[in-house]
Chains A and B, each alone.
Chain A
């Protein structure tokens, strides 16, 4: 019998708010965080909408009590969310047992580097960009803030990154290497990614409509979210009441194309199957799916096909919450994990906002209104990234 993995803390900052309670309020009040671009300095600011964290760099620094010039936006977002997760888990002394950090990012320090890159070759004012550019930078700052010394690493697999961080955290606990792990991811909005996605012509200039026949593409977002995973022994030792249980996880590769997903949804189907397998659960035990649902022509078609492959006629309730948050890239899976855990805690399904017409290829209609009083025991959460990287997680109400 596989050891149980519990979630004891959550932390989040995104376009929906600065923490878990604010996020819950926005979700419940159907308030999307997607809107005009206010903080990112870009020539496209009036062309696209995005799910920005409504805080300047200075304000983020203020929240942490640090000089914002010493940190990238992504590092500060990560520090804020990871700190909330650890506080909410009731951890006093982080090192009383073996505690690690598995973070993830795709933008890393690029949001800062892109402002100064050419100057770096001529002036010395911003040379520290060189040190904050790589993916490990934000992780080190988070570890330092939390006092984690035991284990740290960072995963970067595009849009599935945080799911993979959560998966590694669980495996490290199951193997006996660690007793608890802070897991998740962070990404700031950047000109690099905004323009990059624009070259792929998959950005929606309007508010996105995931899984809709008329969908036009995705809205980018930014943010960070972390979970605290703990072993069964730790739960017994501390007598904590966990928020949720991580029942299953799976990663597979589409191996079809560098950016597009296969029409038959092979990678996605495999990832979901693996998650059900590690959970020892049947598809019929899933009560709700938080789909990847970016709103692109390709993803939603591919993912829809995968869902039908797995669930067939017995499709559970599902929704994409990316019309709330935008597509936050690396942290998407951890942001959606926090949302899924809120769903479990409050027995609520948050709707797929801005949906009107199902895709002509199938009859898949997401939940479009806030659905309360549901019986939610197990939730499947999907995250699929560039490079065919497909990951799925299954959370449930904690078993005793």
Chain B
């Protein structure tokens, strides 16, 4: 059973004009965070729906509609989302009103919109999809859990099309709290990759990326999604390396078959030990790249990495701004994404050329 990525759409700190192309110019936010460059939402969502939506919902719904357009389909057999912090803007709104008004004279809209499955629900409402609808909320595993569910479903039944995606937003309040907790870099981002950072903290990001996954190849196919794996808090780099080898072997591949590995270095030196070890050890003979210098750090940025991998495979070239070592290898057949969130949730995604 082969799973094709037949459509994508992404919203991130980069300027995405068309879904299947890497932005011509890399946006380097000179800040401690990477705010998403948002499209015009009116193009795909009616004003009557937009007026209620927080940014996470707008990003998620907009990306999923554009993803369906990219795949050339109007209906899907399942809508599966992953989000780390959910609709935080709406949660914050309702919570602050609750506190400020001492639990009186509160209004329902932000409460309703704050439920974590609102993005998936609004997508279903918009496209009138009565099928399976699911939302995963396990931190750095949220998006990959959604992918795992989609893979399971495609293996259970033939001929399905599934819309799967990851969304996370950043609010001023959330960013402030993350700064106060010491999670954010003290200095602003000044470009380059995050491969050799020596200070604590990461650059917070946000975004949404959606995919149509199906068992039929089409003219719009980007790549093959071979598989996904989630490893919680591996005790050592060796345990992680072992897991990677086993994962590749389960897909009848070995390390030498990997044309590019996209590594999720966040730049926070406190959490990067295993990534650094992999770069200079396990992956030393493999062409390497990074992605969080493009999208920032958030729990579902694995979705950005998948979009990047799929786009690289479809276009047959690796953007120079992604590369972090200089081994030759510009047209990979197999890409391995190795991501992590704060050295706890490690995820692997294997993506191959169609």
A and B touch in the complex (CB under 8 A): yes
Question: Which residues of A are at the interface with B, using a C-beta cutoff of 8 A?
Answer: 42-44, 105-106, 108, 110, 113-114, 117-118, 120-121, 124, 127, 130-131, 133-136, 139-140, 143, 149, 151-158, 164, 168, 171-172, 175, 177, 191-192, 195-196, 198-200, 251-259, 266-267, 270, 385-389
Q: Are A113 and B95 in contact (CB under 8 A)?
A: yes
10 nearest interchain CB pairs? A387-B121, A135-B137, A196-B111, A156-B116, A199-B108, A136-B139, A253-B133, A153-B145, A157-B117, A253-B124
Contact of B125 among A114, A153, A255 (CB under 8 A): A255
Task: Other than A155-B137, A255-B129, give 6 A-B pairs with Cβ distance below 8 A.
Answer: A106-B115, A134-B139, A154-B136, A157-B117, A157-B133, A256-B125
B104 on interface, CB distance cutoff 8 Å: yes
Q: How far, in angstroms, from A199 to B113 measured CA to CA in the complex? A: 13
Q: Which chain B residues border A267 with CB–CB below 8 Å?
A: 130
B99 CB-CB contact with A under 8 Å: yes
> Do A42 and B155 have beta carbons less than 8 Å apart?
no
* Contact indicator B115/A386 (Cβ below 8 Å): yes
**B317 CB contacts on chain A under 8 angstroms:** none
Is there an interface contact between A43 and B181, defined as CB atoms closer than 8 Å?
no
| CB of B157, distance to nearest CB on chain A (Å) | 11
Contact present for B128 and A152 (CB under 8 Å): no
A-B contact pairs, 23 of them (CB 8 A): A44-B103, A106-B115, A110-B95, A114-B98, A114-B99, A121-B180, A134-B85, A134-B137, A134-B139, A136-B139, A136-B142, A153-B141, A156-B86, A175-B155, A191-B98, A192-B91, A253-B124, A253-B130, A254-B130, A255-B125, A255-B129, A267-B130, A386-B121
Closest to A150 in B: B232
A255 touches which one: B103, B117, B128, B142 (CB < 8 A)? B128
Question: Measured between alpha carbons, how far is A195 from B108 in the docked complex, in Å?
Answer: 9
B118 contacts across to A, CB distance below 8 A: 258, 387
Distance from A374 Cβ to chain B, minimum over Cβ atoms (Å): 33
Question: Which among A42, A191, A258 has the greatest number of chain B C-beta atoms within 10 A?
Answer: A258
C-alpha spacing A121/B128, complex, angstroms: 41
Q: Which residue of A lies closest to B98 (CB)?
A: A195
CA distance A83 to B94 in the complex (A): 34
Q: Are B98 and A266 in contact (CB under 8 A)?
A: no
Judge whether B96 is part of the interface by a CB distance below 8 angstroms.
yes
With contacts A134-B84, A135-B116, A389-B121 known, is A164 near B145, CB below 8 A?
no
Bound-state Cα–Cα, A266 to B108, Å: 25
Compute how far the CA of A192 lies from the CA of B117 in the bound complex, rounded to whole angstroms: 17
Known interface pairs A164-B134, A199-B107, A253-B131. Does A175 touch B152 (Cβ–Cβ under 8 Å)? yes
Q: Is B277 an interface residue (CB 8 A)?
A: no
Instruction: Check if B141 sits within 8 Å of A157, measured CB to CB.
Output: no
- Indicate whether A42 sits within 8 Å of B112 (C-beta atoms), given known contacts A121-B177, A253-B133: no
Chain A neighbourhood of B91, CB < 8 A: 110, 192
Contact B180 A43, beta carbon cutoff 8 Å: no
Most A C-beta atoms less than 10 A away, residue of B99, B108, B114, B128? B108
Question: Which one of A117, A133, A252, A388 lies within 8 Å of B121 (CB-CB)?
Answer: A388
Q: Closest residue of chain B to A124, judged by CB?
A: B180
**Of B106, B117, B152, which one neighbours A156 at CB under 8 angstroms?**
B117
- Given the known inter-chain contacts A134-B84, A168-B149, please indicate yes or no for A155 contacting B108, CB distance below 8 A: no
Given contacts A196-B108, A252-B132, A267-B130, contact A156 B137 (CB under 8 A): yes
Indicate whether B135 reaches chain A with its CB closer than 8 angstroms: yes
Cα–Cα, bound, A139→B79 (Å): 23
Q: How far is the CB of A229 from chain B (nearest CB, A)?
A: 15
Residue of B nearest to A127 (CB): B181
- Among B94, B136, B141, find the residue whose CB has the most chain A CB atoms closer than 10 A: B136
- Known pairs A198-B106, A199-B107, A386-B112; A155 contacts B176 (CB<8 A): no
Chain A CB within 8 A of B51 CB: no
Closest A residue to B121 by beta carbon equals A387
Chain B residue numbers with a CB within 8 Å of A172 are 152
Does B133 lie within 8 Å of A389, measured CB to CB?
yes
Residues of B within 8 A of A43 (CB): 102-104
Which residues of A lie under 8 Å from residue B181 when comparing CB positions? 127, 130-131
B232 & A130 in contact (Cβ 8 Å cutoff) = no
**Cα(A368)–Cα(B91), bound, Å:** 39
Chain B residues with Cβ below 8 Å from A198 are: 106
Q: Is A200 touching B108 in the complex (CB atoms < 8 A)? A: yes
- Cα-based distance from A134 to B145 in the complex (angstroms): 16
